[in-house]
Amino acid sequence: MGDWQGGGGSDDSVIVTDDNAGSRSSNAEDPDEFPDRTTKGPRRQHLHWPTMDPSPSLLFREPVNRVDRRAITMWRMTPLIPGIVVLAACVALGALVDPARWPAVAAALVTIVLTAFFVAVVPLWRFRFHRWEITDDAIYTQSGWWVRSRVVIPIARIQVVDTTAGPIEQLLDLATLTVTTASSAGTIRIVGLDAEVARSAAADVTIRTQAHTDDAT
């Protein structure tokens, strides 16, 4: 069971982590069972933003929205590119420096194994667990692949909302939703969102935050 972590004083964020997630299977559905949830083109994610109390009870269920399925490709490209560079360096070293041939071969084999694992296994593992949800009162995220975490951030604690997209994300028409808070959670990021969905979510959270600010005054 995960360890509950909560901020002290007026900190309303709730965080739970699971250090043993690598040895347990996720309760999320098989991504192949829902091929239309996160596909590129006219079919977009079916987002669910119900009204809900931002209490720790949220943590007893998963957020309802998956990240976009193209996030799998992004998570594959991220380790693949440096893996290819390191492998090429090992091959060049082994070919040009005779005393370093066998160490270079060993390093190349290790690089191949690690790259294959992080390209073939980890992205699917992450996709099964990464989820997010926006309610009237909170943002609920679930992320990680070995050490997994669930975070509930009350809308009233949010300070800044924006979207970012690195080179690989831009290539795949993806974006990251970044939320800066006044809680111990600091900045949370929801990666692997469709770029249009990320922009819409940022606008929606901004409106909800402003509504909470107006109500407080």
> Does the predicted TM-score (pTM) go above 0.85?
no
- H or E element, residue 34: none
Coil, strand, or helix at residue 181?
Answer: strand
Contact yes or no for 212/60 (Cβ under 8 A): no
Contact yes or no for 140/62 (Cβ under 8 A): no
Q: What is the longest distance spanned by two Cα atoms in the chain?
A: 74
Coil, strand, or helix at residue 49?
Answer: coil
Share above pLDDT 90 across residues of the chain, in percent, rounded to a whole number: 54
Pick the most confident of 35-39, 141-145, 167-171: 167-171
pLDDT higher than 60, residue 189: yes
List the chain domain ranges: 1-19+56-66+130-217, 73-122
Burial of 95 by CB count in 10 Å (0-12 exposed, 13-18 middle, 19+ buried)? exposed
58 versus 203: the higher-pLDDT residue is: 203
Q: What pLDDT digit, counting tens, does each position of 1-43 carry?
A: 444 344 344 455 555 455 544 444 344 444 444 444 444 444 4
Confidence class for position 214, pLDDT limits 50, 70, 90:
low
- Cβ-Cβ contacts under 8 Å for 136 (sequence gap 6 or more): 49, 50, 51, 52, 155, 208
Contact yes or no for 145/129 (Cβ under 8 A): yes
State which fold the 1-19+56-66+130-217 domain adopts. Answer: PH-domain like (2.30.29)
